[in-house]
Structure 1
Amino acid sequence: MRVRPDILRTYQGVHTWTGIIAGLVLFIGFYAGSLTMFKYEIQQWAEPISVPVTDPKSTNYQALIDKAIEQYPAQMAAGFELDLLTSDAPLSWYTQGQARGMELDNQLQTAHLHEQQLVLNEQAEHKLADLIDYLHRTAGFIGEIGHDQSGVYILGIAAGLYFLALVSGVIILLPTLVKTFFALRKEKGPSRFWLDSHNLVGIASLPFHLIIAFTVVVFAFHDLIYGGLAQFYGDKPLFERTPPAAQAYNISELTPIDTQILAAKRYAPGYEPIHVSYNALSSTSPSALFKMSNKNAVSRGPDTDYLAINPYSLEVLYTSYPQGEDSFWGNFTASLFSLHFGTYGGDWGRWAYFIMGLFGAFLFYSGNLLWLDKRMKKDAHKTSTHVMAKLTIGVCLGSILAVVAVLLLAKWANLLIGKINHHYMLCYYLIFFISLAYSFKQGTNKASYNGLITLSILTACLPISSAIQGLIDLALLPYYNGYSVDFIALIFSAGFFFIAKRLKQKSVKDKIILDHKTIEFVR
């Protein structure tokens, strides 16, 4: 296919500058986003190994709820959580903070039955999984605009630029797409190899990237989108709301939990309730939000489907399930969520999104390297080029180092510190900015090599920490289930070491070539 040279130059400029502007922000979003596919497994890995206190197959949830309502009616009426899968305490409620948002000071009261007696334990809510998700949604930008984090809007703008970069990149490749799609021409030098790798990853995962770019824009600006659509709907709401009851309900009349579970299963055959969040049980608008799991079906939430019912009347309030033609916008929004979250394909889908998320981070990193290589060849002494090179290394390596450092902190500090969430945030930003400063101080080559070696060591320390903790108390070893996280950490550690070794070899080779050229010039 032939494209006019002036059009190619225009789109090349669009592709370059949109990618450079958005690349570093999106690198963090994609890297952290790949980890969110297994954020609950990572959270579980980091928490201390403990002996199960309940069995979800035999727990009498009704007796547990009745006993808690009898002793703590006000707290239970405000709302509580019921986990139907855990082997720890299945009942909990917040004594400080709330479930929504990135609240670092949340305190939970957990409860379980032992010999028909209510056993309570107050603890801080660990936010390791939420921190990873926070980085994915905001790229680490702090502050709020309205009721949402400022980083969400920044990522929304970056995703818009990212969409332009994708479209312009495809147009640039059209003339040579068939001939060079699978070509990785190492014999033509590292620059050509990086370009071929960049193009291959970009084109091969194009549908995924288009979906992510579009859905991020929707997530960031959904309030503005809904506000604009509301102008066309007039008095008719976009999403139907169930009107409140005439009188407030009484928690003593709460429908039995088994009846609620049966109603949820009837509404969604083949799905299994795994968690219930109760809210405002003594008000005119109580709700019970069921997480519904079915590994063989499409999921439209971050990890499960959702079904909200009135826990007294069992009336369905809202759901993420398809609801027919009358709920077009609800179905459309749920579909967008499922495409972004990647949970519609079960475990295979999660692994696919994990890998493609890492490839996405590679896409932005390699794009920056290609731009820097081109600029260095034109003018190796230009200050802006060197600043961008240091930013690229500092931000990319710094964000990965910071996340690994937080994981290592979580593995040990959870044993020693109660309120750990502030330490997570402090550790992340401290390591990130130290890495960034080190890159500017020592230069890209030294920062890259030392950063990768440090990253390899820290990542290897994750499974080593698990082994040490297991050896400290061998009796708890049968209850440990974080082997998959340890195995993946070992693979990443070896990968970082291999890249560092190759980088060192390249630096030595470049120095020999440079010295040889200098000797020839002197002669």
Structure 2
Amino acid sequence: MALFIAFYAGALTIFKEPISHWATPPLQHSESISLSAVPSVLGRVIKSHPEAAQRIQLNLNPETHHTQQIMWTVEGEKGGDHDVSSLRYFSAQLDEHQDLVTTEVYPATVAQFIDTLHRVVGLPVDSDPNRWIMGIFAILYTLALVSGLIILLPILVKELFAFRLGRKPKRVWLDAHNVVGVTSLPFHLIMAITAFGFAYHDLIYDAQDKLIHEGQLRQALFSSAPKPNPEQSTDPATMLSPEELLATAKEIAPSFVPYQLEYAGITTPRASVMIWGNDADAITPRAPGGFIAINPYSGEVQSTDYLPGQQPGEMIAVSSFFALHFATFGGSPIRWAYFILGLAGAWLFYTGNLLWVENRRRHSKPDGRLFNQRKDVKVMASLTVGICLGSVCGISLMLASSKWLALEAQATYLHFQWVYYLTFFATIAWSFIRGAARSLVELLYAAATLTVAIPVTSLLSIIIPSTGLWMHTDLNTLMVDIVAFIMAVGFGLLGRATYKRVYHSQIIDSVWSYRPALRSL
């Protein structure tokens, strides 16, 4: 069930950027700051907001990416590492009189929260202990994959593509389960191994530091980090213009397409600017892309270790590890393949639990009387329905509500947590109140309704413009609505098929059947 959440949320995370764009309202029209004026504007920002000197971003295509041109974040006391729940976001722009205007903004963090669910298998915070829990699941997952394949290999080879459609529904589900599991095995092994690495990478580094590098691992890892230059200026207004920095990046990597400049420590001797971008022809080292680090004052190239297409051999090996997990190679075809494989993986874990429960049912007696099914089987059935469909319903409602929350201009990470977990625990409670069979039908229809609410929310912006809602028309963002509609139809069809199975199947001694009259016998 934890792996269902990881795979379902992970499939959506493949398109994290379009989801963020979908949930972000159109920018209020404002005059763009010319790139030549950026150094002086950054200097003014840092003078009035010193905390921005630590890390501040210049987005090169703010309208395309539905974001502010100049932004920075302030981390709360509870923040740290991957946890972004306490971040506050600020932006800067110039008014018609060229006066600096800084405001707190509320970018759509719904995709970030979905990513957190993926990282820590449904737990609310992306912390070390929660990642360790995810790592334990990854270990068990790997053992199950390998041992299951070895044990069942003779049977799978014989019956892999033997779909027995005329047999019992359980056999059809088992056949489909086996085909999906075996054909996607390489993908699952990649996910399991890389997830283990992400969960324990700090502990692995610590062990390497003590056993191999004699306490010098940090120095080795950061040997290419920018060296302090006490003689250089620390006045941001004297920095090179973004055009000059971008020209340097273009000269080194002609096919590299930048989208953001991230300035770090620009009032210190360690000043650096990371130019983030993508290269369709190279392995991308991280999910947001890759970067080249340059000194913003001297223009000296500080590092190309994370620049796609320019990485040294050892960095390509590490980047491949990330790329295989995040689908940051091969362009759109690979991303869509990962999306489909992720959803198929979620379906695999869901059907696995359904089959496990069905295999443990107590069959009716020869005289037709029904056994009362074991309590642990009933509990597992209700948990499977509540947790799996609770995750689906929670994510769908969270996405559908994100635009409505943004109308208040204060849709924060915490709001999305409340929407998701209230829905999630409500569905679990409902699955126990109504029982696994009835709640399975009802929650599938609920998932269809909440998922179709995503494109309906966008359509309302056209039908009733006075709502203040919006609909972005670029293809990548429109695909969020299109895919949500297709998935809603899929949930609806599953709900209809499940209704027939629950209320009209000839197999009445199953946890997945419901006959009020017979239950009283």
In the superposition, the TM-score normalised over structure 2's length comes to 0.86
When structure 1 is superposed on structure 2, of 104-113 and 410-419 the one drifting more is 104-113
Instruction: Note closer, same or farther for the CA distance 1:484–1:324 as it changes in structure 2 (3 Å cut).
Output: closer
Q: Encode CA deviations 1:434-464: one digit per residue, 9 max, x unaligned.
A: 1111111111111111101111111111111
Shift of 1:52: 5.1
Show the counterpart of 1:428: 420
Alignment equivalent of 1:169, drawn from 124, 148, 161: 148
Q: Closer, same or farther in 2 for the Cα pair 1:316/1:105, shift >3 Å?
A: same
Q: Which residue of 2 aligns with 1:507?
A: 502
Moved more, 435-444 or 416-425: 416-425
User: Counterparts in 2 of 1:208-357, with a 5 A limit?
Assistant: 208-230=187-209, 231-234=211-214, 236-237=216-217, 238-241=220-223, 242=225, 244-247=227-230, 249-250=233-234, 251-313=236-298, 314-317=300-303, 319-321=305-307, 328=314, 330-357=315-342
Determine the structure 2 residue equivalent to 1:36: 13
1-structure distance, mates of 2:516, 2:246:
78
Q: Indicate the SS of the match to 2:258.
A: strand
CA deviation string 1:207-248 (max 9, x = no partner): 111111000000000011112222213355342433632527
Matched residue of 2:40: which SS?
helix
Q: How many residues align?
A: 489
The 8 Å contact of residues 138 and 155 in structure 1, kept in 2 or not, is answered as yes
Pairs within 5 Å for 1:438-453: 438-453=430-445
Report the Cα offset of residue 65 of structure 1: 3.5
Match of 1:67 among 41, 60, 67: 41
Preserved CA contact (<8 Å) 1:51 1:479: no
Report the equivalent of 1:82.
58
Map Cα deviations across residues 153-184 of structure 1 (whole Å, 9 max, x no partner). Answer: 11111011111111122213321333322222
Match of 1:130 among 99, 109, 112: 112
- 1:478 CA drift (Å): 8.3
Query: Are 2:104 and 1:109 aligned?
Result: no
Q: Give the 3 Å change call, closer, same or farther, for CA 354–273 of structure 1 in structure 2.
A: same
Q: Which range moves more in the overlay, 441-450 or 502-511?
A: 502-511
Aligned pair partner of 2:393 in 398, 401, 416: 401
Alignment of 1:17-32 (within 5 A): 24-32=1-9
Matched position secondary structure for 1:316:
strand
C-alpha displacement of 1:504: 0.9
For residues 471-522 of structure 1, the C-alpha deviation after alignment (integer angstroms, 9 at most, x for no partner) is 333999785444211111111111111111111111222368679x9999xx
Percent of paired sites with the same residue = 34
Residue 306 of structure 1 contacts residue 320 of structure 1 at CA under 8 Å; is this kept in 2?
A: yes
Q: Answer yes or no: is the 8 Å Cα contact 1:138–1:150 preserved in 2.
A: no
Amino acid across the alignment from 1:450: E
* Partners of 1:452 and 1:496 within 8 A in 2: yes
Displacement of 1:108 after TM fit?
2.5
3-state SS of 2:291 partner: strand
Q: CA deviation at 1:99?
A: 9.4
Q: How many Å separate the matches in 2 of 1:266 and 1:423?
A: 44
Deviation at 1:51, TM superposition (A): 5.6
Where structure 1 has 5 or more consecutive residues not aligned to the other structure, the ranges are 1-23
Q: Retained in 1: the 8 A contact 2:156–2:178?
A: no
Q: Deviations over 1:282-321 (max 9, x none)?
A: 1232221221212233322114223233323423235324
Give the Cα separation in 2 of the matches to 1:109 and 1:421. 15
Classify the secondary structure of the residue corresponding to 1:94.
strand
Question: Deviations along 1:370-412, whole A, 9 cap, x unmatched?
Answer: 1111111478622111111111111100111111111122121
Match of 1:382 among 374, 377, 380: 374
Q: What residue is the counterpart of 2:384 in the other structure?
A: 392
User: 1:188 pairs with 136, 154, 167, which one?
Assistant: 167
Instruction: Give per-residue Cα distances to partners, 1:67-120, cap 9 Å, x unaligned.
Output: 342354335533311111222531112356589633334333323456572454
What is residue 186 of structure 2 aligned with on the other side?
207
Q: Name whichever of 357-366 and 265-274 sits farther off.
A: 265-274
CA gap of 1:406–1:239, structure 2 versus 1, over 3 A, is same
- Give, in whole Å, the separation in 2 of the partners of 1:415 and 1:51: 13
* Aligned twin of 2:368: none
Q: Deviations over 1:262-298 (max 9, x none)?
A: 2222332311111121111112322212212122333
- Residue 454 (structure 2) aligned to one of 462, 467, 473: 462
Closer/same/farther in 2, CA of residues 511 and 175 from structure 1, 3 Å limit: closer
Moved more, 443-452 or 475-484: 475-484
Q: Supply the distance in 2 between the matched residues of 1:137 and 1:507 (Cα, whole angstroms).
A: 34
Alpha-carbon distance in structure 2 between the residues aligned to 1:281 and 1:292: 21
Q: Deviations over 1:16-74 (max 9, x none)?
A: xxxxxxxx11110000000001112112112223465467xxx6222134234235433
CA distance in 2, matches of 1:423, 1:240: 38
Residues 236 and 94 of structure 1, relative CA distance in 2, 3 Å threshold: closer
Unaligned runs of 5+ in 2: 364-370
Task: Tell me the amino acid that sits aligned with residue 49 of structure 1.
Answer: P
Q: Name the CA distance, whole Å, in 2 between partners of 1:214 and 1:479.
A: 37
Q: Aligned in 2, Cα 1:499/1:476: closer, same or farther, shift over 3 Å? A: closer
Amino acid at match of 1:63: A
Q: Is the alpha carbon distance of 1:72 and 1:322 closer, same or farther for their aligned partners in structure 2, counting shifts above 3 Å?
A: closer
Question: After the TM superposition, which of the residue ranges 169-178 and 210-219 deviates more from structure 2?
Answer: 169-178
Which residue in 1 is equivalent to 2:134? Answer: 155
Please state whether the residue corresponding to 1:92 is helix, strand or coil: strand
RMSD: 3.0
Q: Per the alignment, in what secondary structure is the counterpart of residue 233 of structure 1?
A: coil
Please name the residue that 1:14 is paired with: none
Q: Once the 2 structures are TM-superposed, how far is the Cα of residue 324 of structure 1 from its aligned partner? A: 8.9
- TM-score, L = length of structure 1: 0.85
| C-alpha distance in 2 between matches for 1:323 and 1:346 | 14
Task: Kindly indicate whether the alpha-carbon contact (under 8 Å) linking 1:64 and 1:113 is maintained by their aligned counterparts in 2.
Answer: no
Q: Which amino acid aligns with 2:87?
A: N
* Residue of structure 1 in register with 2:366 after alignment: none
